[in-house]
Structure 1
Amino acid sequence: MNNKVLFILLVSIFFSTSMMITGCKKSEINPYTTGDVNIVGYLEKNIDSFSLFKQILDRTGNSAFLNAYGAYTIFAPTNSGVKTWLTKINAATVDAADMTKLQDMVKFHLLVDTITTSAFKDGKLPVPTMLGQFLVTGVGAKGGVSSYLVNRQAMISKSNIKVGNGIIHVIDNVLEPSTLTIAKQLEAKAEYSIFVQAMKETGYYDLLNTVDADTTKRWMTVIAESNKAFADSGITSYSMLKAKYSKTSNPSNTNDSLHMYMAYHILSGIKFLGDIITSPSHQTLQPQEVVSVQLKDQEVVLNEVEFNGVFEKGITVNRTSSDNAATNGVWHDAQAHFTLKFRKPTALFWEVTTFSEILKLPAYYKKQNYTWTRQSESDQPLKDIVWGWGPLAGTNTITYYYNSSSSNSITGYGAVNFDAIQMPMGLPNRPIWWELTTPPIIKGKYKVWICYIQRKQSSGSNELCQVSINGDVMPNTMNFTQTRPSGTDPELEAIGWKRYTESTNAIYAGRLVGVYDFKTTKRQTIRFTPLNGTQNDNYLDMIQFIPIDDQSQYLPRFKTDGTKIYQ
């Protein structure tokens, strides 16, 4: 077989294989994709649009490595964008421009990774540029046409151009890196003068004016307050702010409330709004204090919580004046004045049946049963109650159980509000663990009581469980098939039991699983893992977190309508 015939045969096999593959899998075609050149080759093929950027690459010595093998993403500005930038930096030509500025310009447009628009989100890109700063993406409009906006400075006109050594995104302007620290940026804005003065007096200005060479320590995030935000709370000067918070008259003292106020407005790490909303809380520089986060109607809301039935309205972050990148992090603008609140440990009597998904179903809540079923291992139908997928996927459900009939032997005898959640568990075909996210718990030491309704699915049923909080295993186990022992309240408490409802029926059992020291005020997680046995009929009514210093661990008890009683 000669070489020509062999070549034709190989090509035929290639195209036949390709047709088979594309017949089975959808293929996306990008009209701007080309794999026959590298980044520099693409710019040269489109020199009418990129001659100035190509000239910058040549002068800075970057053309050689961007025309070689690698995996890069480059944001390539067109000639019109480069001309505008050269005018801005007072350079008549590329050759007349300062070399350091040209080098930084290239580094700021280049990422050592292949990032397509599928990785874009309302926030920073997943990797920093070669200059060490992050790019921020969003969606903008120009001439009535929506497109991706980069750093609020340039629109992407062509995206995802695949070349031999990476990805090219064409932009209409040059991206300009931050040249100031968080401290300097805020100081340059007169509308933040009170906040900046507080930064200086507490010593945090110096920290926020530092660009640490160690990138693991460099980045910080500040939630700043404008003078208007202060004024809306009756604070019109720094002296008024100091008078309100500084109890030691020395704001640099870490025990001073003004110092704590400022520490509470600083988060470690670089967190754009797109990063902030991915977690329900973030640790601040004030030890053991967090800001909680919710996304409500596309608004980022901080510290909106309910403590013991009292609703505390949160603080909205101004999106349009946030995500301000600096050389050492990013800062955001709070719409109103806020500070940390010092609370003493307070008992939480948590009705686990009050999760958001059932509250949105008034036809069922406190009326009738409702069951959620996981359709697949990746499916989790509830936000704050999740469970481990049973290997055989036989029973992967959770039921809101309600029955107020006095003849009902589960909730009808005396469950709080006549309801509970039914949690099947146990190998091999039931959930292998359950994890619930609590309401906010104020930091401190608490005794943790699991209040359940005892049931045995069969005479031999046993559902011994290990309980863990935030991943820490509690010292005592509990068993959904075990009734409450008999005895007086002090006698029961001494052996780790209590009667939590008005009913004296022993199926309503409160079991102490141990003492837990919550280091941070926030929502916590509690997990049930079966150690022995398997059954469907596990009914959880309440979980109570009672400070260890409270005089009584067994009072109050609860009536079936949820009313507390102290006898």
Structure 2
Amino acid sequence: MNTKKQIWIWGLLIFLGWMLTLVSSCKDAFENNTYTAYEETPIALYLKNNEDKYSLWVEVLQKANLYNTLNLDAIYTHFVPVNEGVERYLKATNLGAISEMSEEQAAYLVRYHLIPNAKVEFAQFQSGAINELNATDDNLFVDFRNGGLEAVYLNGVSRFNSYDIKATNGIIHSIDDVLVPLVETVYDRLQAKQHWSLFKELVDLTGYKERLETVYTETTDPLGNPIQQRFKYTAFVVSNETYTKAGIHGIQDLLERLEVSAGSDYTNPDNPLNKYVSYHLLDQQRSYADLGKFSENGTKMNLQTMAPNELLKVSESGAGLVLNEDVETGESIAFVEMNIACKNGVVHEVNNWMPLFSPEQVQVIWELTDYPDIEANVSQYRNSNLGSQYNKTFTANELTNITWSARPEYKPNVVTYRNNRPSEGNWYALLNHDHLRAELGESGWIEFKSPTIVKGRYKVSFVWPSPKHSAHTGICAFILDNEIIHARLVISNSREERNLTQAMGTVEFTETADHTLRILSLDGRLITMDYLQFDPVE
């Protein structure tokens, strides 16, 4: 066995061991396994060699027993505070020295500043959440302010002072201050800001407090073992001052504006006050950058809110994103503050009391992996920097917006979420790099609930990754709202693995509502699915 191969195998074994150790243990298992390559240095050694800037953070790494972990032949993105920032942190937490920290505290702090298994370069930063989760399973947020590269902040509190410092095992971004790990939920944010007190009172009255203050939902797997699901939310918050400008000085004024009977059941989803509050909430995290992810050549889209069949319109304007732009008057809603990071989502403040709005038809991209319960059950959801392919097979009780019936009924491994790594060609080129796979058996079916779509006529297309196969396989039919829109589609092809699009005809929706798509398996073979596209027809 040659030396390079030995090094590679040894590095792989170390890395696998680290994956089991980093999250569950604070013990540094790699004290004698530091990796170096020629004259270059890994992350921890680089920091130690630059003690004039990072010596105190090196002490934190050592206290956490993670110093040697960050010298492994692996991939990391590490956000490292300079010495002055660590000193400010110690003073703010009433610590005289790093030695006074417990190993557990130091380890959590390091993990909060660390994204494993990914190199996230400055060029990938957008105004909002970094897609790749850190080692505490949280998103970190990037904030671009006026001042160019000298005014970019992490989590809104720590300024970047240097980017893309290359190490043999990843990238270092140098920051001014230590990040205090987020513990505040969306509800905690509402509660902490006095000028949001009216909106917070509305959340209380309508029964959304519990959702907005919950980080993990406890449930069980099919075998009865306890598991945790993590749901995230987006809140568009209205300040007391903005309400006052609209002539709303308290609950009673809003009830009168919405024509709601005082003392009615505000927790009923059909109650106008409940609809108003849930209209300000999304059941997935959408940072400012996420809100601006339009389809190719698009400048607007409609988002499903938590209010049944009510949509929030997002548009691109000359000054950035706006909400609910009226095409006739040109009036719109602007952001006052954006990307207020929370443990379970994000908050944006808007400059209008934001009543329900009826947007016009726009192109709709119905991505079949875009559901809160898929995200809550998937540990590598839409991760764009995977080192290896990720698969998650679902059981029927894990999802609510997707149901299926397999043949036979006890058939295992029916529905799978797959996220692909960059080296996987057309599979990686799919929307958000992920897709669903189903093997339903002959005459089995899978059914999806669509997002709300504005009434009108649409041209419908289906996009999917087509695997190469010598014979026609994955033959299926498409049924929308109990009407066949495509009687026979062959998923595989005999040429090469590629992404294909099939026009499925034109449909007309007579009301603004959600819809039901059933895909019927005709041969029982693999069906791969990316998204459906609805293009308005004049």
TM-score, normalized by length of structure 2? 0.58
CA distance change for structure 1 residues 88 and 71 in 2, over 3 Å: closer, same or farther?
same
Q: Are 1:313 and 2:331 counterparts?
A: yes
Q: Which residue of 1 aligns with 2:282?
A: 267
Q: Is the 8 A contact 2:311 2:357 kept in 1?
A: no
Matches within 5 A, 1:492-503: none
Q: CA deviation at 1:295?
A: 2.0
Q: Is the 8 A contact 1:290 1:520 kept in 2?
A: no
Instruction: Give, in whole Å, the separation in 2 of the partners of 1:448 and 1:42.
Output: 57
Q: Which residue of 2 aligns with 1:131?
A: 136
Letter in 1 for 2:44: V
SS where residue 100 of structure 2 aligns? coil
Q: Are 1:233 and 2:246 counterparts?
A: yes
Letter in 2 for 1:269: Q
Q: Which residue of 1 aligns with 2:356?
A: 340
Q: Are 1:182 and 2:186 counterparts?
A: yes
Letter in 2 for 1:296: S
Letter in 1 for 2:113: H
CA distance change for structure 1 residues 141 and 296 in 2, over 3 Å: closer, same or farther?
closer
Q: CA deviation at 1:158?
A: 2.2
CA distance change for structure 1 residues 146 and 178 in 2, over 3 Å: closer, same or farther?
same
Instruction: Give, in whole Å, the separation in 2 of the partners of 1:157 and 1:303.
Output: 37
Q: Are 1:97 and 2:101 counterparts?
A: yes
Matches within 5 A, 1:510-549: 515-516=508-509, 519-520=512-513, 543=537
Q: Are 1:43 and 2:47 counterparts?
A: yes
CA distance change for structure 1 residues 67 and 233 in 2, over 3 Å: closer, same or farther?
same
Q: Max radius of gyration: which structure?
A: 1
Q: Gaps (5+ residues) in structure 2?
A: 1-36, 218-226, 295-300, 363-451, 460-478, 488-504, 515-531
CA distance change for structure 1 residues 232 and 165 in 2, over 3 Å: closer, same or farther?
same
Residues 221-260 of structure 1: per-residue CA shift (max 9 Å, x gap)? 0001111111111100123223433347121111100001
Instruction: Give, in whole Å, the separation in 2 of the partners of 1:159 and 1:311.
Output: 44
Q: Which residue of 1 aligns with 2:315?
A: 294
Instruction: Give, in whole Å, the separation in 2 of the partners of 1:335 and 1:122.
Output: 19
TM-score, normalized by length of structure 1? 0.55
Residues 85-112 of structure 1: per-residue CA shift (max 9 Å, x gap)? 1100110100113544323221111001
Q: How many pairs does the alignment contain?
A: 344
SS where residue 76 of structure 1 aligns? strand
SS where residue 266 of structure 2 aligns? coil
Instruction: Give, in whole Å, the separation in 1 of the partners of 2:307 and 2:507.
Output: 28
Q: CA deviation at 1:334?
A: 0.8
Matches within 5 A, 1:67-466: 67-112=71-116, 113-140=118-145, 146-212=150-216, 217-245=230-258, 246-247=260-261, 249-279=264-294, 280-306=301-327, 310-311=328-329, 313-318=331-336, 321-341=337-357, 442-443=454-455
Q: Is the 8 A contact 1:299 1:317 kept in 2?
A: no
Instruction: Give, in whole Å, the separation in 1 of the partners of 2:229 and 2:109.
Output: 23
Q: Is the 8 A contact 1:133 1:177 kept in 2?
A: no
Q: Is the 8 A contact 1:448 1:513 kept in 2?
A: yes
Residues 1-28 of structure 1: per-residue CA shift (max 9 Å, x gap)? xxxxxxxxxxxxxxxxxxxxxxxxxxxx
Letter in 1 for 2:288: L
Q: Is the 8 A contact 1:34 1:162 kept in 2?
A: no
Residues 318-362 of structure 1: per-residue CA shift (max 9 Å, x gap)? 1xx22100111110001011121479xx9x9x9xxxxxxxxxxxx
Q: Is the 8 A contact 2:335 2:351 kept in 1?
A: yes
SS where residue 160 of structure 2 aligns? strand
Residues 189-222 of structure 1: per-residue CA shift (max 9 Å, x gap)? 1101110000000000111011125786421100
Letter in 2 for 1:116: E
Poorly superposed stretches of 4+, deviation over 3 Å = 98-101, 138-142, 213-217, 440-443, 446-449, 472-476, 512-521, 524-527
Q: CA RMSD in A?
A: 3.6
Q: CA deviation at 1:305?
A: 3.2
SS where residue 276 of structure 2 aligns? helix
Letter in 2 for 1:336: N
SS where residue 164 of structure 2 aligns? strand
Q: Gaps (5+ residues) in structure 1?
A: 1-32, 351-439, 450-467, 477-511, 528-541, 545-567
Q: Is the 8 A contact 1:116 1:160 kept in 2?
A: yes
